């Protein structure tokens, strides 16, 4: 539904892809080649019928839509490969946020490895005059962080224009707990100094992106908690954030802000890769 709304407002083309697979069929030594082919075709036909029934229930007038069904066990790998072959503006996927801690969910695989922005869609419908929240990293002046911030804002503006929504942006910084415990800093004073030091960065972002100053929220605290809090406060329909992929074992286990926050947000999450 989100893809359809954006396509109606922008003229974008849609590739609507369904995936099917039956464990053990491909590796079976009992089934003949024709048996395997018959099983695959029966699954594919059933999925095509299911998708066809869904499409009858929506307005497709004026939309360039291509429908396909793929026999594939690791659908996320297929999507990543497809995006390597052809350029897309965004990948839409329904949320899959219930896997166990040790298993790497397909959502995470897409967020980490898909070259295009990925929207993990929640169960909520977009409301008229919606809100897009851009979660920025203003704590670093490195070229890679600045580039990622620009891409987050660019994607936020494109999404806001396509959905007739307004843009908010946020950045959270943590007050060093150890320094507070040792009475070396006052939290309120530290926050004021951080905000003052960030002002030049903020002004640049406000001017270049056309953000209204009262819609830029500076937050004190852990990003995973504060982004969820401000998202709920402003009623965000989608949160756009960056993903700095961690290749280490610890990174794979702990994830990053985008992955950690996924299970806590009721809004859609758009992940932009660095």
One digit per residue, pLDDT tens: the chain, 274 residues? 999 999 999 999 999 999 999 999 999 999 999 999 999 999 999 999 999 999 999 999 989 999 999 999 999 999 999 999 999 999 999 876 554 444 567 888 888 889 999 999 988 888 878 999 999 887 666 788 888 888 999 999 999 999 999 999 998 776 666 665 666 667 677 777 777 777 787 778 778 778 888 888 887 777 888 899 999 999 999 999 988 655 444 444 334 666 677 778 889 999 998 7
Contact 270, 134 (CB under 8 A): no
pLDDT at 97: 53
pLDDT at 142: 78
User: Residue 25 CB: number of other CB atoms within 10 A?
Assistant: 16
pLDDT at 240: 95
Q: Over the range 232-270, which residues count as b (16 or more CB within 10 Å of their CB) and which as e?
A: eebebbbbbbbbeeeeeeeeeeebbbbbebbeebebbbb
pLDDT at 249: 44
Question: Could you tell me the pTM of the whole model?
Answer: 0.84
Distance from C-alpha of 89 to C-alpha of 117, rounded to nearest angstrom: 7
Q: Helix 75-85 vs helix 106-113: angle between axes, to the nearest 10 degrees?
A: 20
pLDDT at 182: 63
31: closest CA among 20, 43, 39, 42? 39
Calculate ∠ Cα 33-39-40, nearest 5°. Answer: 90
pLDDT at 172: 78
């Amino acid at each position: 539904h989100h893809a359809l709304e954006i396509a109606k407002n922008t003229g974008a083309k849609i590739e609507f892809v369904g995936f099917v697979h039956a464990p053990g069929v491909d590796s079976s030594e009992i089934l003949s080649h024709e048996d395997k082919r018959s099983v695959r075709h029966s699954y594919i036909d059933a999925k095509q019928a299911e998708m066809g029934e869904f499409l009858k229930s929506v307005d497709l007038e004026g939309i360039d839509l291509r429908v396909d069904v793929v026999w594939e066990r690791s659908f996320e790998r297929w999507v990543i490969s497809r995006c390597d072959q052809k350029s897309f503006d965004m990948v839409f996927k329904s949320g899959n946020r219930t896997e166990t801690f040790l298993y790497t969910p397909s959502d995470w695989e897409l967020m980490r490895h898909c070259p295009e922005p990925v929207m993990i869609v929640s169960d909520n419908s977009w409301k008229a005059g919606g809100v897009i929240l851009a979660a920025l990293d203003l704590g670093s002046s490195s070229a890679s962080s600045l580039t990622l911030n620009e891409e987050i804002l660019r994607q936020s503006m494109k999404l806001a224009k396509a959905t007739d929504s307004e843009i908010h942006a946020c950045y959270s910084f943590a007050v060093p707990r150890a320094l507070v415990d040792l009475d070396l800093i006052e939290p309120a004073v530290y926050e004021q100094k951080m905000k003052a030091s960030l002002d030049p960065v903020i002004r640049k972002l406000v001017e270049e992106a056309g953000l209204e100053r009262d819609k830029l929220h500076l937050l004190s605290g852990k990003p995973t908690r504060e982004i969820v809090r401000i998202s709920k406060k402003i009623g965000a329909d989608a949160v756009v954030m960056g993903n700095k992929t961690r290749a280490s074992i610890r990174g794979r286990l702990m994830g990053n802000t985008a992955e950690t926050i996924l299970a806590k947000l009721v809004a859609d999450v758009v992940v932009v890769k660095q």
